[in-house]
Amino acid sequence: MKKKVFAATLAALLIASVQADTVGLYLGGQIWQSEASGYFGKKSTPMDVNTAKKQQSNFFLAVEHPLPLLPNVRISSTTLDTAGNTYSTQDYSDDNETSHVDVHVELAADASFDVSYVDYTLYYELFDNGLFSFDLGLTVRDFSGGVTETETANTVTTTRDRIWDGEEHDDHDYHNLVDTTETVTNNKIKTNDIEPLLYVASNISLPLTGLSAFAQGDFVIKSDHSLYDYQVGLNYELVVNRMMDVDLTLGYRVVNIEFEDLNNLYSDLEFKGAFVGVIAHF
């Protein structure tokens, strides 16, 4: 459904850009080599994430126009994924006149965090003199995807029946019965949620020809969850002509997702790393 909405919006924006020469259309994307840290999962079984780097992706479109009262529009799609695991053991026993029971339980859980979100942003260009620009707006972040968790419990139960004939016996005289069972449980926690965020962006032209520095971020306004997503970097003009401009971007991005009981999901994850991207301006 989201893909259909995204495609319909893109088509409408393309038509608008063709009909008005003063409307600017921006299309861009980036490949982001991120490293995750933190935990996620159910409150009872939080998962420490694996530290291996993952390649994430992001793409966006934006339309800017000269009408002062109407906001500019930006739509961005981001995917995030990582994996985690946890391991624990439990031991307990029961002793009575006829038998002694030892129970050893090994609990292992593996999970994948596969979440995507689409940002719908309305913003105003508050200042732009050709050398410095500043944008301010509101983002609605629409989460989808979720966490898939597999829990495995291996239980070893050892029962020792006492041999009683009026004399004391040691453990070697007991009859041992060992029973091993394995239980596998699969769970899926959805992350469907919509959160409002504050959007800010700025760009500064540098003395070097075609080079500029930029910063952009979305920050949670008010929520039970803690969210922020920001990036800083450099922008270089590769192609400049009357039909289209093409820019290369290099930078560093940080995304934090802290869910507090979202459909029984708890998380405190931070994704961070360098990215490279391309932006086309029509």
| Concatenated DSSP letters of the chain | -HHHHHHHHHHHHHHHHHH-TT-EEEEEEEEEEEEEEEEEE-SSSEEEEP---EEEEEEEEEEE-S-SSSPEEEEEEEEEEEEEEEEEEEEEEEE-SSEEEEEEEEEEEEEEEEEEEEEEEEEEEEEE-SSEEEEEEEEEEEEEEEEEEEEEEEEEEEEEE---SSS---GGGSEEEEEEEEEEEEEEEE--EEEEEEEEEEEEE-SSTTEEEEEEEEEE-S-SSEEEEEEEEEEEEEEE-SS-EEEEEEEEEEEEEE-EEETTEEEEEEEEEEEEEEEEE-
What's the total number of domains in the chain? 1
Looking at per-residue pLDDT, the higher value among 183 and 280 belongs to 280
pLDDT in tens, 168-197: 555 545 556 777 777 777 788 898 999 999
Whole-model pTM?
Answer: 0.78
Domain containing 212 equals 2-281
Q: What is the mean pLDDT of residues 150-160?
A: 78
Looking at per-residue pLDDT, the higher value among 157 and 189 belongs to 189
CATH number assigned to the domain comprising residue 12: 2.40.128
Q: What is the mean pLDDT of residues 248-276?
A: 93
What is the per-residue pLDDT for 170? 52
